[in-house]
Amino acid sequence: MPGTVTNEAPWLSLDRGHVWHPYSAVGADTPVFPVVAASGVRLRLADGRELIDGMASWWCAIHGYNVPEINAALSAQLDTLAHVMFGGLTHAPAARLAGRLVELTPAPLESVFFSDSGSVAVEVALKMAIQYWHARGKPRKQHFATLRRGYHGDTFGAMSVSDPETGMHTLFSNMLAQQLFIDAPTSRFGEPCNATDVAALETVLTAHHDELAALILEPVVQGAGGMRFYAADYLKQARALCDEVGVLLICDEIATGFGRTGRLFACEHAGIAPDILCLGKALTGGYLTLAATLTTAGIAETIRQGDPGVFMHGPTFMANPLACTAALASLQLLLDSPWQGRVVNIEAQLARELAPCRQFDSVAEVRTLGAIGVVELHASVNMQRLPQQFVDAGVWIRPFGKLIYLMPPFIINTEDLGTLTAAITHIIRKL
């Protein structure tokens, strides 16, 4: 099997026989590569090979791996309190993290609900919007407007607001709540928003505002739905239209939050604040699963005053002390670092070194924004072969669909990033 090693450890046989990996089948022959250690931007495989990580572990390990500052914070917290239920109890890491998130995110967001994954953060946001309007005496407002080509997670509510045709969840379409989809904006990032995009948005919001609880979108970057970058001005138009017709605005910054696009939060490119904000992925620097949904004091107070007077959600591992501690250490590390300069340099190098891919017949488009570099092909990649080819080149790059992309840790140096871009150029040339 590709990706396995000679004299493999018994646990690898257990993995092949029993473990379901993301978007895979148990026992499938899709290559899975055994990692035994990680440090900096390198993953070490069981056979001793090292791979330069271009994925930041699905975009969350912004500081790389085995980070001394986060290790030390977790070690100290482990000696005190590893976990306690959050129902009726509280602890300092959660309170301090909530305070830091309120401080960093756009005003007037100031109420924080913790959960344990990005998908759940989206579920929380949807429920929060519905419960808000119920408390306002408008129970018909239970549906959502969202953008085509978007992706918001794998749970049922999150799937319902992800693209219904080009996304990953068409199999479940008959089971999902029916939402209202708006054509994805065609205005490119850095350009004004065109009239056609605004008209499509305005048509749906105006015609259906009485049944819409919120508009949910990924600001500036549509992530797993296609790695598309669109005009920040579209967000300004969306904010204004939502205010005009009485619809909440939810920004899903699970992928874009904490510097990935060159701003701490992508909505800052437009100078707007959502009514509800979803955060995850890089929140803990890739150490532990944690997410947060933030909203305004007005929304929180309206829910408190309505029936039943409390927000109806409560994950078992909500605000886990270890996860909150990791998040506090990761945020401090980010803020103390020259992250803006690093992202600017990554963007410039990605733009320069991926540009030659435009000459290849198999390539439809090359685009970059912040610490994101995307090569879009005309046809879907071969997931049986391509990951193995990248591993053989000494890099970890995991394509999907028609996309070969990079979202590396912010700490990556010029040489290692050059190795990643060279591997992409070389392998696409062979395609």
Select which of 53, 163, 252, 275 is catalytic: 252
Sheet of 291-296, strand order? 109-115, 291-296, 276-279, 248-252, 212-217, 143-147, 180-182
**Active-site annotation holds for 151:** yes
Out of 23, 29, 210, 392, the active site residue is 23
Q: 252 catalytic, yes or no?
A: yes
Q: What is the DSSP letter of 162?
A: S
How far apart, in whole angstroms, are the C-alpha atoms of residue 400 and residue 184? 20
Length of the chain: 431
Tokens 């290849």, located at residue: 360
What is the end-to-end Cα distance of the chain in Å, rounded?
Answer: 22
**Marked catalytic residue, from 281, 402, 405, 416:** 281
Q: How far apart are CA 384 and CA 37, in angstroms?
A: 24
147 with 185: CB under 8 angstroms?
yes
Is the Cβ–Cβ distance between 276 and 63 less than 8 Å?
Answer: no
Q: Which runs of consecutive H residues, i.e. helices, occur in 250-312? A: 297-305
Whether the CB-CB separation of 303 and 131 falls below 8 Å is answered with yes
Q: Please list the active-site residues.
A: 23, 151, 252, 281
